Amino acid sequence: MKTKTTKIIYWAGAIFMSLWFGASGFFELTKNPVVWDITQQLGYPSHFIYILGVFKISGVLVLLLPNRLLRLKEWVFAGMFFDIIFAFFSKIAVLGFPATIDAIVAFSVLTMTYLMFRKLYSPELVFGEA
């Protein structure tokens, strides 16, 4: 795969995930009833919802910075993966499989985005290894 194609796939995925997590974080911070009701129905406390919102918005800002904070982007990807995995299993346990479709889509897009990130940025660039 050419570098140009890899960059297009990476940025398309990064923008999609940023919109997804940015909207979710915004709705958590503004106490949107739809997001709050589902999250509380899954058993998460109110203070945790605010923390999620702050970290999601912060992660989006890092993810959208081109060619900067590469090590921190690794942490953002990890946080997004954990968020999606926890959402998936929480929804399976409480709401059933049909409620997990969004998590499956997000996991697929995030996986492809992360794979393109790894193709674009070698470990030497990300972790400063020589």
- Distance CA(80)–CA(20), nearest Å, equals 11
pLDDT digits (tens, 9 = 90+) for 19-62: 999 999 999 999 999 999 999 999 999 999 999 999 999 999 99
Tell the burial category of 97 from Cβ atoms under 10 Å away from its Cβ (0-12, 13-18, 19+): exposed
Poorest-confidence range of 77-86, 110-119, 120-129?
120-129
- Quick check: 129 pLDDT over 70? no
- Distance CA(94)–CA(119), nearest Å, equals 37
* Domain edges within the chain: 3-121
